[in-house]
Structure 1
Amino acid sequence: MSDAVSTTLSPTPRSTVGRHRERGATDRAALYDVLDHGLVCHLALVRDGAPVVLPTGYGRIGDTLYVHGSSGARWLREGGVPVCATVTHLDGIVYARSAFHFSMNYRSAVAHGTARLVTAEPERTDALRAIVEHLAPGSWDYTRQPTRRELAATAVLALDLDEASVKIRTGPPADDPEDLSPEVWAGVVPLTSTLGTPRPDPHVPADAPIPPHVTTRTVSGNCP
């Protein structure tokens, strides 16, 4: 889902990085990178007067983020809901010499906007395909396509990525000069996510080969 042309982010008052502005990325390619290498986004909204944060799968096509859920959910059926979507990668735990400077190395993206209900074709099918392919590349064409009943039970929301920000921290702790004691260890403990060995469903014959789109995804162990 890479894009041939990269443009800069155009921050709005609520998408402008405040604290540690030096960690803010301005290239839209950084936004795509964070989104395309994540697996779960957290969707925040206000429901019945109270804030709710929902973890969910997602997919991206160009400058649009897609999520799906049950069409039985009223807020999903209606669309037009103000939301905030976030995706975060934790890359390391930063051990400092002072408690104040303990931190994390991370890459995060935050998108604000009004989610619209997707009902027209082919966008709806393209969105569902993007969500499946983001989680498990090569699976959409390999598996049975959704039935009319399954499609009726599924709502798809689209969030334009016009109002988004990216924040990234890398490197060692930012200890104050007076705390740079050689007697106290400081540094970074890296964190990585890996894919394990595929485990066939019990109904799969024991001698059935693992499909290429699964082995290709897992051979490197990288996630995703």
Structure 2
Amino acid sequence: MAHEESAPDTSYTPTERTVPTRARERAAYDHDTVHAILDAGYVCHLGFVRDGDPIVLPTLYGRVGDRLYLHGSTGSRPLRTAGETADPGLPVCVTVTHVDGLVLAKSAFHHSINYRSVVVHGTARQVVDPDEKTAALDALVDHVLPGRAADSRPGNTKELAATAVIRLDLREVSAKIRTGGPNDEPEDLELPYWSGVLPVAPVYGAPIPADDLAPGTPQPPYLTAR
């Protein structure tokens, strides 16, 4: 009998921490949904515990396959903790959220937002391999603006020494999405108040050249394509 290779996983396994207590029908665990939400943004919130107190910090991130990379100063407490050899890794929770619309109901209670969000639980570890660190930093730059890493000077020895990168594997992950209009109570439908959705979307303005940009420097195509 021929050996059959198992099909690759296409979804993250739900856990006690990734199954919501409310609106479970809005949760998703498939890779395509989770990755699409992560790839649509570049600012996340990194949560951890420091000296017994909860801390949440906004920072940039980049995704490479099933890994998230976050960066900061080598003087950052969470990044230092993630690199300690006595107790390797830092337990963290990373969240990414996009607001797609303001949901205006006839009652104040049923006002809501349409959103896409991802929550990642896991242990972050500092990246020490030079090649992985360089690739991670390129991924961070390209995640914000695809094509920019190859169109800028890479970090030098001093800059790389001052920059720490942590890695978080995507294993305990969930997405949650709300779409659609307001969920008004039947008895409120005849009330004389406007109801519906006000869409929200990010807008990029026209690029503004630096004051010291050399005359004649062409604008890169990845800016005009946005």
TM-score normalised by the chain length of structure 2: 0.90
Shift of 1:45: 0.8
| Structure 1 residues 161-172: aligned runs within 5 Å | 161-172=170-181
Distance 2:186 2:12 in 1: 35
Match of 1:197 in 2: 206
Contact 1:94 1:187 in 2 (8 A): yes
State the Cα deviation string for residues 96-152 of structure 1 (Å, max 9, x = none).
011111000000000001101110132211111110100121111111111111111
Q: Tell me, yes or no, if structure 1 residue 177 matches structure 2 residue 186.
A: yes
Distance 2:10 2:21 in 1: 21
Distance 2:221 2:163 in 1: 29
| Structure 1 residues 150-161: aligned runs within 5 Å | 150-161=159-170
1:38 to 41, 46, 67: 41
Distance 1:26 1:89 in 2: 17
Structure 2: give runs of 5+ residues left out of the alignment.
1-7, 83-88
Distance 1:78 1:170 in 2: 39
Match of 1:128 in 2: 137
Match of 1:92 in 2: 101
What amino acid does structure 1 have at the position aligned with 2:123?
T
Contact 1:40 1:55 in 2 (8 A): yes
State the Cα deviation string for residues 24-77 of structure 1 (Å, max 9, x = none).
113221100110001210101111221111101110001101000001123312
| Structure 1 residues 67-82: aligned runs within 5 Å | 67-79=70-82, 80-82=89-91
Shift of 1:200: 0.5
Moved more, 34-43 or 46-55: 46-55
Match of 1:23 in 2: 26
Contact 1:15 1:110 in 2 (8 A): yes
- Aligned-CA RMSD value: 1.4
Shift of 1:164: 0.8
Q: Tell me, yes or no, if structure 1 residue 58 matches structure 2 residue 61.
A: yes
Q: Secondary structure at the match of 2:130?
A: coil
Judged with a 3 Å threshold, the aligned counterparts in structure 2 of structure 1 residues 121 and 205 are, in CA distance, closer, same or farther, namely: closer
Q: Tell me, yes or no, if structure 1 residue 110 matches structure 2 residue 119.
A: yes
Contact 2:106 2:191 in 1 (8 A): no
Contact 1:111 1:165 in 2 (8 A): yes
Contact 1:6 1:29 in 2 (8 A): no
Judged with a 3 Å threshold, the aligned counterparts in structure 2 of structure 1 residues 97 and 153 are, in CA distance, closer, same or farther, namely: same
What amino acid does structure 2 have at the position aligned with 1:91?
D
Distance 1:214 1:179 in 2: 47
Distance 1:148 1:28 in 2: 36
Shift of 1:182: 5.4
Moved more, 71-80 or 32-41: 71-80
What amino acid does structure 2 have at the position aligned with 1:34?
I
Structure 1: give runs of 5+ residues left out of the alignment.
219-224
Q: Secondary structure at the match of 2:115?
A: strand
What amino acid does structure 1 have at the position aligned with 2:119?
V
What amino acid does structure 2 have at the position aligned with 1:30?
T
Number of residue-to-residue matches in the alignment: 213
